[in-house]
């Protein structure tokens, strides 16, 4: 019999194992596309290790290729990662009691997959001890992080080997559409996406990518407003 | 287009630091404080508010064709979106979109 802490760690590994199917191709693709954009293998790896957030890496890469100004690139990519404020808020009651060094390390590994798996677990078993919760969290990271880095490296090496004529300019749009499509299942999400597209196209005359940022703000507000309106209707 | 080296060396460290601080925020420093409900609500829509707008011009006016709408790319985008909505599978949508793009580029 395993003691509770290794058991919680293993439970974490199992809970995030299904995400491997998403993480590996995504990281591979990032490696390939980033190499095609002129980054060398070390630069691709530094990118994946320091930022460690796929969607914002693809977005930053695309905007860098479009020669957008640095401030706009940072604002757009960071805005994509703002959802992680929610993750941080949701994890604080469960993991906030850990030592500062441990929290600092967990913050680095707070990604979509570790958050999703941990949020489900802590809701299902809220009365575990703190060490068990911490062990579970690190368990969710164990299959994901090494594969993210490894597949980025593999993608970068493949990218250096293949020719430039594979219409890879379109890999990023396809990836983003694929990430968004499954979210378009509720009216507020559909409204937000619609406003985002309409706004970005009509405001594309604005300089330095500011049109996209403005469209994103409008889209977020539209999504939230739509959610409020739906709730009011339900109450009535 | 090729990424400018100076831009890379400014963007990557700052994006890494900023993303880390976002993750660290409540878990690391702010502790057990709830967010105002309006903010939680808006944060739910960050991804869906930015990503479609980011790709829309690239779908309709691709840079490789000099900005002219390109049938294979438009069709690939629509197939990706449709498969993603119907199957909820990110990988399935990417594969379907990629297959559409290469089939049409090869034929036309």
DSSP A12-60: HHHHHGGGHHHHHHHHHHHHHHHHHTT--HHHHHHHHHHH--HHHHHHH
Cβ distance A25 to B47 less than 8 Å, yes or no, reads no
What is the enclosing helix (H) or strand (E) of B61? none
The SS3 of residue A166 is coil
Beta carbons of B15 and A78 less than 8 Å apart: yes
Its ipTM equals 0.85
Rounded to a whole number, what is the distance in Å from the CA of B39 to chain A's nearest CA?
9
Please compute the mean of the pLDDT values over residues A6-29 and round it to a whole number: 89
Higher pLDDT, B64 or A135: A135
In chain B, what residues touch A196 (CB-CB under 8 Å)?
48-53, 56
CA distances from A199 to A58, A218, B58, B98 (A): 21, 8, 14, 27
Residues A183-223 pLDDT 10s: 888 999 999 999 999 999 999 888 767 888 899 899 999 99
Contact at CB, B97 and A177, closer than 8 angstroms: yes
Q: Please report which confidence band the pLDDT of residue B35 belongs to, taking 50, 70 and 90 as the band edges.
A: confident
pLDDT band at A163 (very low <50, low <70, confident <90, very high): low
Strand, helix or coil for residue B68 = coil
Instruction: Answer yes or no: do B49 and A38 touch at CB < 8 A.
Output: no
Closest CB to B11: pick one of A73, A107, A221: A73
pLDDT of residue A164: 60
- pLDDT at residue A133 greater than cutoff 90: yes
pLDDT band per the 50, 70, 90 thresholds, residue A165: low
Inter-chain touch A60–B52, beta carbons under 8 Å: no
Of the CA atoms within 13 Å of residue A124, those in its CB half-sphere come to 9
Pairwise CB contact (< 8 Å): B64 & A167:
yes
On whether the CB atoms of residues A66 and A37 are closer than 8 A, the answer is no
pLDDT at A188: 94
- The whole-angstrom distance between B27's CA and the closest CA on chain A is 5
Kindly tell me if the per-residue pLDDT of B33 is higher than 80. Answer: no
Question: Cβ contacts (< 8 Å) between A185 and chain B: which residues?
Answer: 85, 88
pLDDT at site B96: 95
Q: Among B10, B62, B88, select the one facing A169 at the smallest CB separation.
A: B62
Across the interface, whether the CB atoms of B2 and A37 are under 8 A apart is answered yes
* Interchain proximity B49–A172, CB inside 8 Å: no
- Answer whether B97 sits within 8 Å of A59, measured CB to CB: no
Q: Which residue has the higher pLDDT, A105 or A234?
A: A105
Q: A123-137 as b/e, with b when 16 or more CB fall inside 10 Å?
A: eeeeebeeebbbbbb
Assign 3-class secondary structure to B10-26: HHHHHHHHHHHHHHHHH
Contact B75, B86 (CB under 8 A): no
Res A153: pLDDT? 96
> Which stretches of B33-89 are DSSP H helices?
37-43, 46-60, 71-87
Q: What is the pLDDT of residue A167?
A: 64
pLDDT digits over B51-98, tens only?
899 889 889 988 777 788 889 999 999 999 999 999 988 889 989 999
**A110 contacts in B (CB within 8 Å)?**
23, 27
Does residue A173 surpass a pLDDT of 90?
no
The Cα-based distances of B12 to A19, A76, A79, A170 in angstroms read 25, 13, 15, 22
Contacts of B105 in chain A (CB under 8 A): 167
Mean pLDDT of A59-65: 91
Measure CB to CB from residue A74 to each of B18, B26, B82 and give the nearest one.
B18
pLDDT digits (tens, 9 = 90+) for A28-43: 989 999 998 999 999 9
- Model pLDDT, residue A208: 67
Q: Which residue of A has its CA nearest to B100?
A: A174
Q: Which range has the worst mean pLDDT, A9-13, B11-15, B94-98?
A: B94-98
pLDDT at A166: 66
What integer pLDDT is reported at residue A99 of this predicted model? 93
Q: What are phi and psi of A172, to 5 degrees?
A: -70, -50
Lowest model confidence (mean pLDDT) among A156-170, B40-54, B66-80: A156-170
Residues of B in contact with A43 (CB under 8 A): 8, 12
| Count of alpha carbons within 13 angstroms of residue A131, beta-carbon side | 5
Per-residue pLDDT, A207 = 74
Nearest to A193 among B14, B48, B101 (CB): B48
């Amino acid at each position: 019999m395993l003691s509770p802490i290794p058991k919680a760690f293993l439970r974490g590994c199992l809970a995030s194992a299904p995400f491997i199917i998403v993480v590996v191709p995504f990281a591979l693709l990032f490696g390939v596309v980033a190499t095609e954009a002129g980054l060398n293998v070390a630069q691709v790896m530094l990118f994946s290790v320091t930022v460690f957030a796929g969607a914002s890496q693809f977005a930053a890469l695309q905007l860098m290729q479009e020669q957008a100004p640095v401030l706009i690139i940072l604002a757009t990519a960071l805005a994509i990662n703002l959802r992680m404020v929610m993750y941080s808020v949701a994890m604080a009651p469960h993991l906030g009691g850990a030592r500062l060094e441990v929290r600092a390390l967990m913050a680095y590994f707070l990604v979509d997959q570790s958050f999703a798996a941990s949020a489900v677990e802590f809701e299902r078993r809220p009365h575990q001890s703190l060490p068990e919760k911490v062990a579970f969290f690190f368990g969710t990271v164990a299959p994901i992080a090494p594969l993210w880095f490894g597949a980025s490296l593999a993608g970068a090496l493949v990218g250096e080997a293949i020719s430039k004529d594979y219409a890879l300019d379109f890999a990023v749009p396809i990836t983003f559409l694929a990430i968004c499509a499954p979210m378009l299942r509720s009216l507020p999400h559909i409204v937000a996406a619609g406003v985002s597209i309409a706004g970005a196209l009509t405001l594309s005359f604005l300089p330095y990518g500011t049109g996209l940022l403005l469209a994103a703000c409008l889209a977020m507000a539209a999504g939230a407003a739509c959610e409020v309106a739906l709730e009011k209707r339900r109450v009535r | 287009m090729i990424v400018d080296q100076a831009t890379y060396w400014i963007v990557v460290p700052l994006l890494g630091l900023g993303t880390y601080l976002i993750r660290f925020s409540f878990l690391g420093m702010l502790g057990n404080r709830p967010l105002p409900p309006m903010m939680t609500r808006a944060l739910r829509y960050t991804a869906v508010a930015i990503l479609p707008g980011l790709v829309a011009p690239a779908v309709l006016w691709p840079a490789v064709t000099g900005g002219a709408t390109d049938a294979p790319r438009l069709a690939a985008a629509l197939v990706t979106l449709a498969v993603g909505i119907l199957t909820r599978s990110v990988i399935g949508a990417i594969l379907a979109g990629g297959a559409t793009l290469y089939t049409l580029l090869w034929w036309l």
